[in-house]
Amino acid sequence: MSYQVHPSAIIDDGAQIGEGSRVWHFVHVCSGARIGKGVSLGQNVFVGNKVVVGDNCKIQNNVSVYDNVTLEDGVFCGPSMVFTNVYNPRSLIERKSEYRDTLIKRGATLGANCTIICGVTIGEFAFVGAGAVVNKDVPAYALMVGVPARQIGWMSEFGEQLDLPLEGQGAVTCPHVGACYVLNGKALSKVDAR
């Protein structure tokens, strides 16, 4: 076995877990799950059958990653954050055929206790603040807070807020790594400054 598993964890036959990953106390990984390399699954994490988790993701304690959720490489899921997969659930009506796909792109951060409503895409290196409720797509590098979540700024790949307006034109260099970020309208992109 090329990954670590706590004795209390349940890994169903067929689950794929990459090299160097760590599976902690009371985790349950279903048989169809595909988990990349260097992933950390914290205490009491559940990973459904139709889930893809990329390399180097960190899923903190008490997170359930339900069917139809895809996490690209380097996604951070804070403690007790929530994914949904049915938009209008009812206990008396089965809606498994209505699951909506949720995509969390590379490097995004989902803060503690935030909720991601199914069917959205969260852009690369976006940052969702603790307790926010995301019910629509989030642009790359966007800083989102509140209920419902609204954009209040931009974040660098390093995880620092950038001094740029929400829309317009502008450029700024991250003091930590020297990367340059350029705002064009309502889209932020990183350009090689070296």
Q: Give 78's DSSP letter.
A: -
Mean pLDDT of 70-76: 98
Instruction: Give the position of tokens 């419902």.
Output: 148
Q: What is the model's pLDDT at position 194?
A: 52
Mean pLDDT of 78-82: 98
Q: What is the model's pLDDT at position 176?
A: 86
Q: What length is written for the chain? A: 194
Q: What is the model's pLDDT at position 185?
A: 95
The larger pLDDT score, comparing residue 178 to residue 24, is at 24
pLDDT at 108 over 70: yes
Question: Could you read off the pLDDT of 143-178 as tens digits, one per residue?
Answer: 999 999 999 999 999 999 999 999 999 999 988 888
Question: Could you read off the pLDDT of 49-66 as tens digits, one per residue?
Answer: 999 999 999 999 999 999
Q: What is the model's pLDDT at position 193?
A: 57
**What does the alpha-carbon distance between residue 18 and residue 124 come to, in Å, rounded to a whole number?**
22
Domains of the chain, first to last: 4-161 (2.160.10.10)
Q: What is the model's pLDDT at position 162?
A: 95
HEC-encoded secondary structure of 83-148: ECCCCCCECCECCHHHCCCEEECCCCEECCCCEECCCCEECCCCEECCCCEECCCECCCEEEECCC
Q: What is the model's pLDDT at position 1?
A: 72
